Structure 1
Amino acid sequence: MDKLSHYRNIIKNILLEYDRLCNTSPDDEVESLLALDDERDQYLWFQLGWQQKHRIKGITVHIRLKNQKIWIEEDWTEEGIATELLAAGVPQSDIVLAFHPPSERPLTEFATA
């Protein structure tokens, strides 16, 4: 299995587990949804619905594959998706914390681009 296929599987497994855990106590008004697009290498975990009269729509996690690396565009999880990726064997040099400005990425332990 090539590197990108391996990364796709890791990302999907992590997001499927997050979604499964979220749905163990489902909210009738707010749905937890996944969008897993292998063709465009875009992976989203998001919530959609209503709480009273307020619309809920938000991306909890957005990951994409770009230039042979995993780009974390959005991450509102408690532990951090990067932690999960590291635990799954992805090297720090293949993870970009894209939610940080490019000028700040060299200050992290991860890839800059």
Structure 2
Amino acid sequence: MERVAFLRSKIEQVMKAYLEELNQSSNETIRFESVIDPNGQHFQIIALGWENEKRVFNLLFHLDIIDGKIWVQEDKMENSIAELLVEHGVSKKDIVLAYFPEYHRQFTEYAVD
């Protein structure tokens, strides 16, 4: 439980810092929101609004905490969410790049599972 609390706090730190950066640089028609499911350990940042009469709804990243590791399910950020987590003190061995097939993960610097 202590491990999950540590990982959760690091994810929330990264999300808060990244949201502040995004909202400072965004225009008035698009906003960024965090989505946190405290019971299921799911974390997302989404972009929503309007741009030139087109609806914007984009998932920037989705993270889960599974078996004491952070699983990066999706990452559409300019700077890798995994790298930001490492910069905030999370070990690469505690991050799984789930968007890669299992056989490919062994070739990354991150956890396989």
Counterpart-to-counterpart distance in 2, 1:26 and 1:94: 31
Percentage of matched positions with identical amino acids: 29
Give runs of aligned pairs for residues 5-44 of structure 1, distance below 5 A: 5-44=5-44
More helix per residue: 1 or 2? 2
Q: TM-score, normalised by structure 1?
A: 0.91
Count of equivalent residues: 113
Is the 1:49–1:56 Cα contact (8 Å) retained in structure 2? Answer: yes
Measured against aligned partners, the alpha-carbon deviations of 1:11-44 in whole angstroms (never above 9, x if no partner) come to: 0110111111111134222111111222110000
The answer to whether residue 103 in structure 2 is matched with residue 107 in structure 1 is no
Is the 1:8–1:38 Cα contact (8 Å) retained in structure 2? Answer: no
Structure 2 residue matching 1:18: 3-state secondary structure: helix
Residue type of the alignment partner of 1:32: F
- Unpaired segments of 5 or more residues in structure 2? none
> RMSD of aligned C-alpha atoms?
1.4
Counterpart-to-counterpart distance in 2, 1:4 and 1:108: 23
Counterpart-to-counterpart distance in 2, 1:87 and 1:93: 14
Is the 2:60–2:74 Cα contact (8 Å) retained in structure 1? Answer: yes
